[in-house]
Amino acid sequence: MKFDIVVIGSGPGGYVAAIRAAQLGKKVAIVEKAELGGICLNWGCIPTKALLKSAQVFKYFNHAEEFGFNKPSDLTYEFGNIVQRSRGVADTMSKGVQFLMKKNKIEVIKGEAKVRPGKKVMVKGDDGVSNEISADHIIIATGGRSRELPALPQDGKKVIGYREALVLPEQPKSMIVVGSGAIGVEFAHFYHTLGVDVTIVEFLPRIVPVEDEDVSKQLEKSFKKAGIKIMTSSEVTAVDTSGNGVKATIKTAKGEETLEADIVLSAVGVVANIENIGLEDVGIQTERGKIKINDYCQTNVAGYYAIGDVVHGQDLAHLASAQAILCVEKIAGEHVEPIDFNNVPGCTYCSPEIASVGYTEAKAKEAGYEIKVGKFPFSANGKAVANGSKDGFVKVIFDAKYGEFLGCHMVGDGVTEMIAEAVVARKLETTAHELMKSIHPHPTMSEAIMEAVEDAYGHSIHI
């Protein structure tokens, strides 16, 4: 079988690449060994958000008195039903990708793929039979999986990764979450909201360490107020699963201590799926566990490309999709611009949510900028107060000399729906003056962006 483009992997990078290629008139095949939609739709972004929505509903019920309702009787639930709803949402989205494949006349080939020299792909089907297909262009989008630490081997039962955390057969009474990136804090929030005793163990000095320091401090404050225990500058050095639960040995600044829990969730990052896919046979270069590419997702071997979690950059679904479109449009001969990795937003869906783009305050200073910083608390925002969501703030960073919008960092209820304004503003090289003079609707949470900018330039009205 001969195609114009073959895509390996059907996650947010792979299926988007296939659809865009088909739109541009290419004959396209996509190879997938599991469910269409990849990890994001089936075992990541989407089912996780479904779980978090259930947690939000439960949280609203338990705080009904704050909104003027009489104290309700206890709400009961079946943990399995919450998990089942999440799986149903994932299944719906996966079927949506199946529909898009048919709509765009994309050949879906089930099986495990290996790239071969001469722009070929060998696909081993479920029946064990291998078939060779060829293409003018081959895009590798095989994604990533949960990283395992030597001291924290995952058995899938007592020491688990994010995949098992989505479908636990029963709700644990206690959980240790190792790692406080997006995956760690989202699951910590979900399980804690349902009544699980949760402890977060973070190796670095603060949780969500890639975020602005003020955001980290706010999330830690909010989590501790909610009852989540947090151990920073701490490391799990050993786990004992021989008993009913798990005993974890934690190395801290004060010495060693032992924590006991039903489950340990290892959320220490993602590793790229680049093993056993034929890279060495083709001569495709890798670097620090990822495939090496140029600004247009081209590898060192002509006709082979890579996108998403298998290449360096943030491991984010929306970045994989952006790379997919850039890669395919470059193949088709269209004019494309390299991705600005400093303008890729990051979102974390715990409570309060986190959303950010661009330089943190510390990174801006490290880069040599003289900066202006503005901050507006949601405790002074009418919509946030009315919503009962006063925790958090919007923080903006500008270059003091030229007014360049360097970064925006938010923590609060619903901020993941607000960050796109900052992304577009930075893309258009919008100035602080233009942001301040753009009328924001009242009452909305988004007003906090305008008011944070006003604060940076000494024009603040409400603080």
- pLDDT exceeds cutoff 90 at 72: no
Q: Which pLDDT value is given to residue 75?
A: 84
Cis peptide before 209 (omega within 30 of 0): no
49 is in an annotated binding site: yes
Q: Which pLDDT value is given to residue 39?
A: 87
* Residue 410 φ then ψ, to 5°: -130, 145
Q: Which pLDDT value is given to residue 73?
A: 80
181 is in an annotated binding site: yes
210 is in an annotated binding site: no
182 is in an annotated binding site: yes
CA of 435: how far to CAs of 307, 344, 356, 454, in Å? 34, 20, 17, 9
How do residues 277-315 score in pLDDT, each as one tens digit?
A: 999 999 999 999 999 999 999 999 999 999 999 999 999
Query: Mean of the pLDDT values across residues 49-72?
Result: 92
Instruction: Report the percentage of the chain scoring pLDDT > 70.
Output: 100
The span from the CA of 104 to the CA of 304, in Å, is 23
Picking from 199, 198, 215, 216, the residue whose alpha carbon sits closest to that of residue 207 is 216
The span from the CA of 13 to the CA of 27, in Å, is 18
Q: Which pLDDT value is given to residue 40?
A: 86
How do residues 143-178 score in pLDDT, each as one tens digit?
A: 999 999 999 999 999 999 999 999 999 999 999 999
Are 30 and 108 contacting, i.e. CB atoms less than 8 angstroms apart?
yes
Strands 130-140 and 304-306: parallel
185 is in an annotated binding site: yes
In sequence order, the 6+-apart residues with CB closer than 8 A to the CB of 328 are 5, 17, 20, 21, 24, 26, 139
Q: Which residues are catalytic?
A: 442
* Residue 315 φ then ψ, to 5°: -85, 80
In sequence order, the 6+-apart residues with CB closer than 8 A to the CB of 421 are 446, 449
Are 21 and 305 contacting, i.e. CB atoms less than 8 angstroms apart?
no
Domains and CATH numbers, the chain: 2-145+271-341 (3.50.50.60), 159-268 (3.50.50.60), 352-456 (3.30.390.30)
183 is in an annotated binding site: yes
Picking from 257, 132, 234, the residue whose alpha carbon sits closest to that of residue 180 is 234
